[in-house]
Amino acid sequence: MSQISRPLYTVGALVASALTLLTLGAQTAHAQSVFFNEVLFNPPGADNGFEYIELASTLPSTSLTGLTLLIMEGENVPAGTVDQAISLNSFVTGSNGLLLLRDSATFTPAPGTSVVTADFAPDIENGANTFLIVDGFTGSVGTDYDANNDGILDSLPWTSVVSGFGYIDNASGSGGTDYVYALPNVEVVGPQTGSPNGGGVVTPDAYARINGTGYVFRINGANPGPYTVNPNFVSGAGATGYVLTPGSANVVATVPEPTTVALFGFGLLGGIALKIRRSRRSA
């Protein structure tokens, strides 16, 4: 299994991003208080009825007033176009800090999770994307904010970026380069390892934030789940063994370290031997 290298971002893009950050100034009180926790954007089989976006807040019952969830196209043409703009203005995260946006009642969340059921129209697009939570959105769906497709937004239709993540899936194919936008305010995830998909990397199915780090990966399983991480197509070892948990806390199944298992085994054998010796003495 070969490691696919991450594309280099141009100096111009990084400088522009730094200037953007200075222009925005201090973040609002929302900054980093809410983030993407888990997203299933490419379910096996039909997408409709099985896609979901899970948000998490650092504090329980956090109001999302003034915030908008954006999905920006990252494919080389038409990169920079707003595909989805979902107002979070009337939503509050649950007592456990989670908000589940689902397009059907297929998944049963944990008690305490706030749930919003509404169809994603259109369905969440596969391929390179940037997922953003922004404050003060003034733009519109369908608008291309990177008209010359150079990876730098021509204008910023928001006051500030609260959090986000982005990934590419085709660094060198289809006649151009894929982009992640709103740097450096978003987490760039991947590319994945595994067999290449045309242009050089693998198209992921899902995203999850595990122990503070985001991962993208292909999944194993069939609708309506459970869905598990495909270990051959994952952006990092920290997601290995993960099972998607829509509306519940993200937990990775752990296996005891070999030394721990060995010590337990030796202790068990020692206990058996001691018991045998005592039995012989009493006899």
Radius of gyration of the chain (CA): 23
Is 279 a residue whose pLDDT tops 80? Answer: no
| CA 32 to chain centroid | 15
Predicted local confidence at residue 254, as pLDDT: 54
**pLDDT-based confidence at residue 161 (cuts at 50, 70, 90):** very high
Residues 209 and 94 occupy one common structural domain? yes
At residue 168, the pLDDT reads: 84
- On whether residue 29 sits in a domain, the answer given is yes
pLDDT at 45: 86
Whether 112 and 94 have beta carbons less than 8 Å apart is answered as yes
Percentage of the residues of the chain whose pLDDT score is greater than 70: 72
- pLDDT at site 76: 73
CB 34 within 8 A of CB 67: yes
In a domain, 233, yes or no: yes
Q: Does the residue 2 lie in any domain?
A: no
Round to whole Å and give the CA distance between 195 and 266: 42
4 assigned to some structural domain: no
Q: Strand (E) positions, 58-192?
A: 67-73, 82-87, 98-102, 114-117, 129-135, 160-167, 187-188
Mean pLDDT in residue range 104-129: 91
What is residue 27's predicted lDDT score, i.e. its pLDDT?
Answer: 34
**Is 1 domain-assigned?**
no
pTM, two decimal places? 0.77
Q: Which amino acid is at 5?
A: S
Q: Would you state the pLDDT for residue 114?
A: 98
**Could you tell me the two tokens for 78?**
């038409």
Report pLDDT for 178.
84
Rounded mean pLDDT, 100-110: 91
Q: Is the pLDDT of residue 261 over 80?
A: no
pLDDT for residue 176: 60
Q: Are residues 183 and 271 in the same domain?
A: no
Amino acid at 79: A
Is 6 or 245 the better-scoring residue by pLDDT? Answer: 245
Q: What is the mean pLDDT of the chain?
A: 79
pLDDT recorded at residue 55: 98
Indicate whether 3 belongs to any domain. Answer: no
Whether residues 167 and 281 fall in one domain: no
User: Could you give the CA distance from residue 32 to residue 12 in angstroms, rounded to a whole number?
Assistant: 26
Strand, coil or helix: 227: coil
Tens of pLDDT, residue by residue over 186-239, are 999 977 666 555 555 678 999 999 999 999 999 999 999 999 999 988 989 999
Q: What is the pLDDT of residues 33-56, one digit of tens each?
A: 999 999 999 999 888 889 999 999
- What pLDDT is attached to residue 193? 61
- Residue 170, pLDDT above cutoff 90: no
Residues 137 and 274 in one domain: no
Identify whether residues 174 and 267 lie together within a single domain: no
The number of folded domains in the chain is 2
What b/e string do you get for 217-238 counting C-beta neighbours within 10 Å, with b at 16 or more?
bbbbbeeebebbbbbebbbbeb
In a domain, 188, yes or no: yes
Task: pLDDT band for 251, please (50, 70, 90 cuts).
Answer: confident
pLDDT reading at 97 higher than 70: yes
Q: Give the dihedral of Cα atoms 130, 213, 177, 84; nearest 10 deg.
A: -10
Residue 162 belongs to some domain of the structure? yes
Say whether both 57 and 106 belong to one domain.
yes
Range of the structural domain that residue 173 is part of: 11-252
pLDDT at 21: 38
